[in-house]
Amino acid sequence: MANHLYNIEHSKTLSYVLRHHPAKFGLTLDAQGWCDVDALLAAFAQRNIELSRETLQHVVEHNDKKRFAFNEDGTKIRASQGHSLEVELDYQPMEPPAVLFHGTTERFLDAILEQGLQKRRRHHVHLSADVDTAANVGRRHGKPVVLVVRAAQMHADGRAFFCSANGVWLTDEVPPQYLSTNNQP
């Protein structure tokens, strides 16, 4: 159990660094969001955060949301999505499934149904391919509500979709006319 919690803390710190604030650790990301692994490990060590290459490998491989990825030769690491920084993840437009799902909480429901889903400080709106994942996302912030997104209709109407390396569907926004609160598209 302690090892599991240890990896959760590493995952949270990696998300903070690789998605939002690399400069606070003295790091830079390239245009595609990649960070040199040796520089990352050195930055953690300078802050007395114990992180070995083996532990980093374990966090990347066993993160329940597959938030991170190594490049082909394992010398660089990046977050799969969710950046508040300007990065180009090189995801190609894809045809989405007929419906996708978005997890939120009851307190945001009225505003979302009125204004739609907006990316705000992120690069994209994040959508799930299944109800359970969306419910878990909503559960992090209160009583969950799962919204159904008519993705095929959005796509037919000219809206672009991307699928990140960890299976999260991304789009620029979801206008309210494509949303419902039940499983009927």
Looking at the structure, do residues 144 and 175 belong to the same domain, yes or no? yes
Residue closest to 172 by CA, chosen among 123, 135, 110: 123
What is the per-residue pLDDT for 5?
A: 47
171 and 113 in one domain? yes
Q: Is residue 71 part of a domain?
A: yes
Which amino acid does the sequence have at 52? S
Q: What is the CATH number of the domain that holds 74?
A: 1.10.10.970
Tell me how far apart the alpha carbons of residues 45 and 100 are, in angstroms, rounded to a whole number. 41
> How many structural domains compose the chain?
2
Tell which of 32, 47, 79 closes a domain.
79
Are residues 176 and 104 part of one domain? yes
Start-to-end CA distance of the chain, whole Å, equals 41
Q: Is-contact 80 68, C-beta < 8 A?
A: yes
The reported pLDDT for the residue numbered 9 is 86
Residue 84 lies in a domain: no
Residue 178 near residue 153, CB atoms below 8 Å: yes
Q: Would residue 31 count as lying in a domain?
A: yes
Place of tokens 């006319």: 177
Contact by Cβ (8 Å): 76, 35: yes
The CATH number covering residue 126 comes to 3.20.170.30
Domain that holds residue 74: 2-79
- Residue 122's pLDDT is what? 74
The sign of the dihedral angle between the CA atoms of 31, 33, 37, 41 is positive
**Residue 32 C-beta-side C-alpha neighbours within 13 Å:** 10
Query: Residue 7's pLDDT is what?
Result: 73
Q: What is the pLDDT along the chain (185 residues), one digit of tens a residue?
A: 345 445 788 888 999 999 999 999 999 999 889 999 999 999 999 999 999 999 999 999 887 778 899 999 999 999 987 777 877 777 889 999 999 999 999 999 999 999 999 988 777 899 999 999 899 888 888 889 999 999 999 999 999 999 987 788 999 999 999 999 864 44
Three-state secondary structure call for residue 35: strand
Rounded Cα distance, 149 and 81, in Å: 19
- Look at residues 179, 39, 26 and name the one whose alpha carbon lies nearest to residue 114: 179
Residue 67 tokens, joined: 């938030």
pLDDT at res. 70: 95
Please tell me the predicted confidence (pLDDT) of residue 1. 36
Together in a domain, 75 and 131: no
pTM over 0.75: no
The residues that bridge with 87 in the sheet, in sequence order, are none
Whether 56 is covered by a domain: the verdict is yes
What does the pLDDT read at residue 182? Answer: 65
Tell me the C-alpha distance between 142 and 107, whole Å.
8
Task: Determine which helix (DSSP H) or strand (DSSP E) holds 158, and give its type and residue range.
Answer: none
Instruction: Say if 36 falls within a structural domain.
Output: yes
